[in-house]
Amino acid sequence: MHMADALLSPAVGGTMWAATATLIGYSTKKVQQTLDDSTTPLMGVLGAFIFAAQMINFTIPATGSSGHLGGGMILAILLGPPAAFLTMASVLTIQSLFFADGGLLALGCNIFNLGFFPCFLVYPLIYQKIAGNHPTRGRIVTGSVISAIIGLQLGAFGVVLETMFSGISELPFTQFVLLMQPIHLAIGVVEGLATAAVIMFIWQARPELLERATPGAGVKRFAIKPVLVGLIAATILTAGILSWFASAHPDGLEWAMFHTAGTEELETPENSIYSSLATIQEKTAILPDYSFKKPETQTEEKSETWPAVDPGTSVSGLVGGAVVFLIAMGIGFGLKGKKSGAMS
């Protein structure tokens, strides 16, 4: 559900950038107030894990489409909304800059759609109401599935609204929304089950982590090394090997665009803003499309084999995960330093 710049007008893209920047500022202040010793390493490790998990598209049967884990609910449940939003912003920024996954103009929209809805709306209003302060296995599974579905429905509808208000693409609102919502309903079910599996692993290893993320729960000191080791191992395995098994089908947004406009990629408008941003992204994308750069004279050929064993994909996953880890950790350490300085 990563939007491309071709869907957005500069006005809508700029507005969503401003809204996202405001949320980042708010989240920064809240994290600084509530930061504890476990938050910083968790932000780094979970950020890397979500980056790797988003590389794996899973096929939606009988549709010719695919989806991938958003990860907003996992982050919100384990970190709390503000830290989760900052971590998601780190993931999506690295994807856009280093891998050309999602446009730079659209980055504000992508962070908002994948971060704001699950972290600040669905987690407190849906998941917490179902799971409660003392979750059980059934409540975790039920809350995860329902929350993931609602979060993706809101995010998908956000994409439709942002595209409609931009008014620069030939995507009729009614047809577009009638394709976007059902396909992301199916994706949401899979994401919900994946979210439940991750949260169940954490809950069985360190149930205190789920309590710590609850507002007003207070700070509790406990060892999280087993959780961190497990997540790091899962990240390396996912980024280095499981990424080869990603579905070759278009994702839900591309699928909906194709069945609405007959193409998975729209032409970017001829405007200096779009061309300038595209030039910047070409220079920063060291591993475009999660693979090694190809010579300009070489035509791109999509592999028909599955799994697509590609060292470029493995390198992209491991490098991207490491960069997200360092940035998210850097944010945590930076805010921790400011908190210590303010208290001294």
What's the CATH number where 19 sits?
Answer: 1.10.1760.20
In a domain, 303, yes or no: no
In a domain, 144, yes or no: yes
Cα–Cα dist 41/299, whole Å: 42
In a domain, 202, yes or no: yes
pLDDT of 132 higher than 80 = yes
pLDDT of 274 higher than 60 = yes
Residues 172-196: what's their mean pLDDT?
96
Phi, psi of 222, deg, nearest 5: -160, 160
Copy the structure tokens of residue 32.
Answer: 């600084």
In a domain, 304, yes or no: no
In a domain, 230, yes or no: yes
In a domain, 141, yes or no: yes
How many structural domains compose the chain?
A: 1
The pLDDT of residue 74 is: 97
On the 0-12 / 13-18 / 19+ scale of CB atoms within 10 A, 201 is middle
Of 146, 54, 66, nearest in space to 95 by CA: 54
In a domain, 302, yes or no: no
The pLDDT of residue 219 is: 44
Kindly report the CA angle at 125 between 325 and 160, in degrees rounded to 5? Answer: 75
The pLDDT of residue 215 is: 56
In the chain, % helix, strand, coil (3-state, to 5) comes to 70, 5, 25
With cut-offs at 50, 70 and 90, classify the pLDDT of residue 339: low
**Which structural domain, as residue segments, surrounds residue 201?**
5-291+315-343
In a domain, 258, yes or no: yes
pLDDT-wise least confident of 35-44, 108-117, 212-221, 333-342: 212-221
